[in-house]
Structure 1
Amino acid sequence: MSKENNQADLPEHRDKRFDAVRDTWYWKLSKPVRVVVHFVIRTRNAYIHYGGIKGMYKRWKQKKGEAAKRVDFGTKSFPNAEERRREEETVFPREIKISVLVPLYNTPEKFLREMIESVQAQTYKNWELCLADGSDDKHQDVGEICLDYQKKDQRIIYKKIEKNLGISGNTNVCFSMATGNFIGLFDHDDVMHPSLLFECVKTVCEKDADYVYTDEATFTSPNLDDLIVLHFKPDYSPDNLRANNYICHFSMFDADLLKKTGLFRSEYDGSQDHDMILRLTEEAKNVQHIPKILYYWRSHPQSVAADIGAKTYAIDAAKRAVHDHMRDYYGIEVEVESTRAFPTIFQIKYPITGTPLVSIVIPNKDHVEDLRRCIQSIVNKSTWTNYEIVVVENNSKEQSIFDYYKELEALPQVQVVTYEGEFNYSRINNFGVSKTRGEYLLLLNNDTEVITPDWMEQLLMYAQRKDVGAAGAKLYYGDDTIQHAGVVIGLGAHRSAGHTHYKMPRQHLGYMGRLCYAQDVTAVTGACLMVSRAAYDQVGGLDESFTISLNDVDFCLKLREAGYLNIFTPFAELYHYESKTRGMEEGEKLRRYERECAHFREKWKAQLDAGDPYYNPNFSLDYSDFTLRF
């Protein structure tokens, strides 16, 4: 392709072509039709997702309740007089002085005053506010305001920088001013919750943390209660952090960590926080998350919170930060690409070492058309060629399936083995695994169909990592709604486990873009699960006491208990034609399912009581779409 054609595909050139189309008379004339069509599509998707008119009405009421509840996370959550007195009088077992670092640059007076006064309003009093001012000559009022506050409060330290050093350089000046044993990073136009520093110190003391972070909300200036985004985060998730800076605000860390990481690096200006957080959390011994909204990120026309396009250089800086982090800490050269969710939400492509054999294990009983479609999609679509398929035959009765088994004899990469005995999903898979030769195992349901040709590579790049146990795919029903995008323990009516984003439309971005990047999860479905043979053997394979249900979740929990991460990636996509309208099993099947749920709850009681680390406790366990807990 010529250079000119390449340039024509750049975003700025595409935007110009789209703008040209938008200015035409026929585009403007067709607007009513587009509005109607889009409304019909959205209504259809909602009808499918929420299960009809009643479900849509129920969800509307929930959303209405959520909108009313948003204000509870604003000023209504601030401590009252009694709570403030209790927090101010609390004596902690450790003496912790927090240096709050704020680089200033042409900060508007209103933002500056609200920022400073939110620090002064903290119930925890052992802090210092380090203000390094890189403002230009037209904004001398910034220094005047700061000096006025400094006269009245000696905990405020102000320094004028003669030459603007950029955001990293200016923040590094703040570091040089700091005398605290913990450091907090604060933006010049944002606001703290009055209990922020108290909660951070409480967590450090109770959990011996050397790095803590909180949930946050984005508000529309000037109203702190006009919360437009509530960001409830998972506990520390290294893969999430590489894919996007989900930790962001507020971060507080032991100052000694800087001896290992160094200060901010100007080559990552615009995403200097992402670079620094990647390095700090890598070196930290104990990263803790406080699941409370304690930081308010102001959205205004010049802020990244309003539009990343206001600072496009931040996108390239963030990509470099992730790439360089993986190179420097792990010796891995990864590819980092923006996703459809947001320019700074990334797909990370890990290199695959060698061409290991992948053994695909497919249990089967009858269902000839399902199995045929599954195997044909693997053979015809997969770009990974070094694989074997082991079909585990179990008590089929229809002649058609045995005829198909004879057809499969013509495929050298496929073998059919027979498991004799009553159905036990765990035992059948363990038996199938015993007949394989591969270094990597891929458990696969017979009612799946490959969509993305590189699905095995997308799973393998994670399964090959020494810190990863199971890697799971994104699965859709036949109507292009989501069947699987990761599993949360405790979710659902039986409080055992459930799928997030369940039945959402295929193109949905997910909560905070989660359907668009690979992430750490507690468990993935066994309908499509890749794991190394070494890890599979280490934890003893699937627990055969779970005959039908929850064996995959149990397996993933065993992997986590052994120290592995489990990964969900949306870049390996398959259809899973399991009937989503079949409803709950009845009779003995229902009783068996309930027995297995009870067995699961008993076996993993401690983990269930603690809550899923990747599912914020502010979310309801009754819904899969990140509905707030009421």
Structure 2
Amino acid sequence: MSNKDLFVVIDSVARNFEENILEIKGWAFDLKTKKVPEMSVFSSLDIVEKKIKMEYRGDVNCVYNIPPEVECGFIIIAKIENIRKGKLVVKFEDSKIIKLDLNRKFCHPKEVGNPNQGIYIFFQKGYKYLKRNGVKNTLKKIKLHLQNNDQKYIEWIEKNEQMNPDIIKDEINEFSLRPCVSIIMPTYNVDSRWLIKCIESLKAQYYPVWELCVADDASTNTDVKKVLEGYKLQDQRIKVVYRSHNGHISEASNTALTLATGEFIGLLDNDDELSPNALYEIVKKINEFPEVDLIYSDEDKIDKKGKRKNPYFKSDWAPDSLMSANYICHFCVLRKTIVTEVGGFRKGYEGAQDYDLILRVTEKTNKIAHIPKVLYHWRMLETSTSAKANSKNYAFQAGKKALESALERRKIAGTVEYGTNPGLYNVRYDLKGEPLVSVIIPTRDGADDVRKCVTSIFERTTYKNFEIILADNGSQKEETFELFKKFQIKFSSQFKVIRIDIPFNYAKINNLAVKEAKGEYLLFLNNDTEVIEKEWISRMLSFAQLEHVGAVGAKLYYPDDTIQHAGVVLGMGGAAGHIHYFFPKGDNGYFGKLVSTINYLAVTGACLMLKRRDFEAVGGFEEKFTVAYNDVDLCIKLYDQIGLYNVWVHDAELYHFESKSRGYEDNPEKKARFTKEINMLREKWLKYIKHDPFYSPNLTKQHADFSVNLED
């Protein structure tokens, strides 16, 4: 490795003066080969003990396109004779040497709590975004960021969190069910400031029937025991056990679980806070839904000064979203019997022990409820993933392991890969055989569009067992018929043209074309699309083959590489609309939703795959929706009538030039028809327009950018 190609970054340097231990965190790799250099450590003083540990750095791998199996992060731990004097030298191969003067103080702007930390991270992320996406898209991102600043969230809090304790307490007294909620909290060397705030947030709960079950994991910080003993004496609902040895968070959580006598358990980290209405809302939901086994809420972050920011407004239960990330996270309350049934927390999954537990619990029950309120405040600390995703890389490794274990338990063949960002994952389901996929493309003339679309399918698609059925609805130009003949000769049995001479009705044209299709799977595709990703059919099919999945949609771009389709939200703009509209290519989206496979209530029919049997089970496309919303209606029927989940696949990518062959709703007749179809959709599916289960009511439906809802 040459010196100019070797990239080395020191993230942090920490010293333990009592034990003379130095800890250095950073990352290093060769820019050309993407390989990690060998490292060695020297000191001008005697090194008593040293250890170099490599770890996965998803943030670095993402920015520099490093393969996911490469662990370029490092942690160097050195015990030195005198940590206050001399120099420590870290050597990378024979190319680069970094000398650390142990006489100086180390202060890094990345440390949370430093007044410049937030600015530093913003500009650091901005640089990475610029490197990945270019100037034009970065400017678009800055505009989106300014539209979604923390001030809007403060306004949302003031508008939506006005609580009357007296009314709440009167309602609690009327509850027919008043179960005890056991809060499970492992502790280990937590700063007493945050531990006190955490426990005080529990003591401030409006709902009084709770117990706090604490298992201290052999903390060496004596302040922890002082705080716990003080609270234990104050409140008999607080139970504490002190473990004799450190077993890490899974073992400690299981120890805390042995103290629990409640019907439900809640998971609380020892430096976070609950909102005062948290347990009230949980028990209110239990009274509304007595059979519920798992309840989760929305969450936000809280800094050292108590300022709340970065709210995560979640969807209702979404099984495929959960396989992409632990979107449930905090606040999570589970029925104790089912936690016991699945074996509690598992050792070996530390850092993702909650994720692993949730995956196992949701295999046993579908009695799951979401409370769309912010009930949990996740503390932003130096070691917390709430502040910086790369602060706990072992957690993301454990998350991958949890997903791999889930596939094995479920007897589903596939692999798990790290996603674009830490905490995001891509599950690659193996295909079951090579079933025939019928690609149905309606058209009317538009030879240039058809040529581009069909050619891109044959030239760029790795999946080979497909047929194309071109549904010709009134073509008149000779160039169109010549193109059809050319394709029929060139592609033989894989390309078929059927003539459908009826007044334009998109739904009916597709329904008639299905009758000519031979495939087990149907893929409806607009003629003004062009394939980008070669694995597009394989990726869509890998989800369409799953028994619980209905429609599968793709990621569609405009020609300028901005998002045209990344899922459909009911109620957006009054009827239904695309989300993440116009976001630049390469953007991660709201909490990684543009780079994750996500459940939505609907996906666009411009590129939609599903099983033929499911299409027939719901009666195909509703032909009353002649042009608009027939795809949305189909997706809702799959979910509402036969209980299937629709999925948007982020890495099945195509261009969509949109409405070129038919034009826009730009004359009185078309506008009248469009208005009629909006009214039909609202009349038929008003409950989903009022509440789309895969989109939070706390997010706006006036814009497609996931900004907070300040309208209602």
TM-score using structure 1 length = 0.90
Deviation at 1:13, TM superposition (A): 4.8
8 Å Cα contact 2:390/2:422 also seen in 1: no
Matches within 5 A, 1:91-170: 91-136=174-219, 138-170=220-252
> In the alignment, does 2:394 pair up with 1:313?
yes
Q: Amino acid of the residue matched to residue 198 of structure 2?
A: M
In the alignment, which residue of structure 2 is the partner of 1:578?
658
Cα distance between partner residues in 2 of 1:227 and 1:21: 42
Q: Distance in 2 between matches of 1:419 and 1:48?
A: 43
- Residue 259 (structure 1) aligned with residue 340 (structure 2): yes
Matching residue's letter, 1:141 = D
The SS at the match of 2:572 is coil
2:605 equivalent in structure 1: 526
Give the match for residue 481 of structure 1.
Answer: 562
Match of 1:186 among 268, 282, 299: 268
- CA–CA separation in structure 1 for the residues paired with 2:174 and 2:243: 37
Tell me, yes or no, if structure 1 residue 399 matches structure 2 residue 481.
Answer: no
The separation in 1 between residues aligned to 2:194 and 2:70, in whole angstroms, is: 34
Q: Which amino acid aligns with 1:99?
A: S
Q: 1:25 is matched with which residue? A: none
The structural deviation recorded for 1:140 is 2.1
> Structure 2: which 5+ runs fail to align?
1-29, 37-65, 75-91, 99-122
Instruction: Give yes or no for contact 2:539–2:652 (8 Å, CA) kept in 1.
Output: yes
Name the CA distance, whole Å, in 2 between partners of 1:625 and 1:308: 22
Pick from 37, 54, 73: which aligns with 2:157? 73
Shift of 1:454: 0.6
Offset, 1:477: 0.5
Q: Distance in 1 between matches of 2:618 and 2:521?
A: 15
TM (norm. structure 2) is 0.80
> Is 1:626 aligned to residue 710 of structure 2?
no
The 8 Å contact of residues 74 and 227 in structure 1, kept in 2 or not, is answered as no
Give SS of 1:594's match: helix
1:84 CA drift (Å): 5.4
> Of the candidates 250, 259, 262, which is equivalent to residue 177 of structure 1?
259
| RMSD across aligned positions (CA) | 2.8
Distance, in Å, in 2 between the alignment partners of 1:97 and 1:592 is 56
Supply the AA of the counterpart residue of 1:600. Answer: L
After superposition, residues 238-257 of structure 1 pair within 5 angstroms as: 238-257=319-338
Alignment-mate amino acid for residue 185 of structure 2: V
| Alignment check: 8 A CA contact 2:186 2:217 kept | yes
Higher strand share: 2
Any conservation in 1 of the 2:487–2:495 contact (CA below 8 Å)? Answer: yes
Alpha-carbon distance in 2 for matches of 1:244, 1:266? 20
Partner of 1:218: 301
Change (3 A) 1:20 1:509: farther
Equivalent residue, structure 2, for 1:443: 524
Higher mean alpha-carbon deviation, 598-607 vs 459-468, is at 598-607
**Which residue matches 1:26?**
none
| Counterpart secondary structure, 1:362 | strand
- The alpha-carbon deviation at position 584 of structure 1 amounts to 4.9
Maintained 8 Å contact 1:106/1:139: yes
Distance 1:481 1:408, change over 3 A: same
Task: Look up the equivalent residue of 2:174 and give its one-letter code.
Answer: V
Match of 2:615 among 531, 536, 550: 536
Q: One-letter code of the match for 1:355?
A: E
Report the identity percentage.
38
C-alpha contact (below 8 Å) 2:544/2:552 kept by paired residues: yes
Residue 357 of structure 2 is matched in structure 1 by 276
Corresponding position of 1:472: 553
| Aligned with 1:569 (options 643, 649, 665) | 649
Superposition deviation, residue 327 in structure 1: 1.4
Separation in 1, partners of 2:156, 2:139:
30
* Residue 205 in structure 1 maps to residue 284 in structure 2: no
**Distance in structure 2 (CA, Å) of the matches to 1:134 and 1:373:** 63
For this pair of structures, how many residues does the alignment match? 598
- Tell whether the 8 Å contact from 1:390 to 1:436 is kept in structure 2 after alignment: yes
Deviations 1:353-397 (A, max 9, x none): 011011100001010000000000000010000110010111112
Task: Tell me how far apart the structure 1 counterparts of residues 130 and 186 of structure 2 sit (CA, whole Å).
Answer: 45
Question: What is the alpha-carbon distance in structure 2 between the residues aligned to residue 394 and residue 465 of structure 1?
Answer: 33
| 1:447-468 deviations in Å (ceiling 9; x for gaps) | 0000000100000001111111
User: Structure 1 pair 559/152, CA: closer, same or farther in 2 (3 Å)?
Assistant: same
1:53 corresponds to which residue? none
Render the CA deviation track for 1:247-292: whole Å, top value 9, x for unaligned: 1001111111123211100111111010001112222341000000
One-letter amino acid of the counterpart of residue 195, structure 1? N
Which residue of 2 is the match for residue 235 of structure 1? Answer: 316
Per-residue deviation at 1:63?
4.0
Measure, in 1, the Cα distance between the counterparts of 2:461 and 2:596.
21
Paired with 2:160 and 2:498, the residues of 1 have a C-alpha distance of 63
Task: Check the 8 A contact 2:156/2:709 in 1, yes or no.
Answer: no
Aligned partner of residue 283 in structure 1, secondary structure: coil
**Paired amino acid for 2:277:** S
Work out the CA distance in 2 between the residues paired with 1:576 and 1:142. Answer: 58
Check if 1:434 corresponds to 2:518.
no
**Does the Cα contact within 8 Å between 2:137 and 2:585 map onto a contact in 1?**
no
Q: CA deviation at 1:46?
A: 7.7
More helix by share: 1
From 405, 410, 424, the equivalent of 2:505 is 424
Q: What residue is the counterpart of 1:554 in the other structure?
A: 633
Using a 3 Å threshold, how does the CA distance of structure 1 residues 38 and 322 change in structure 2: closer, same or farther? closer
Which moved further from structure 2: 479-488 or 584-593? 584-593
Residues of 1 paired with 2:622 and 2:163: CA distance? 48
CA deviation vs aligned residue, 1:529-561 (integer Å, no higher than 9, x gap): 001111111111111111000000001011112
1:79 and 1:194 in contact (8 A); partners too: no
CA contact (8 A) 1:78 1:194 kept: no
**C-alpha distance in 2, partners of 1:90/1:499?**
44
Instruction: Measure the CA separation in 1 of the matches of 2:495 and 2:318.
Output: 38
Aligned with 1:312: secondary structure? helix
Of 468, 483, 494, the match for 1:389: 468
Q: 1:520 to 1:61 in 2, by over 3 A?
A: closer
Contact 1:97 1:182 in 2 (8 A): yes
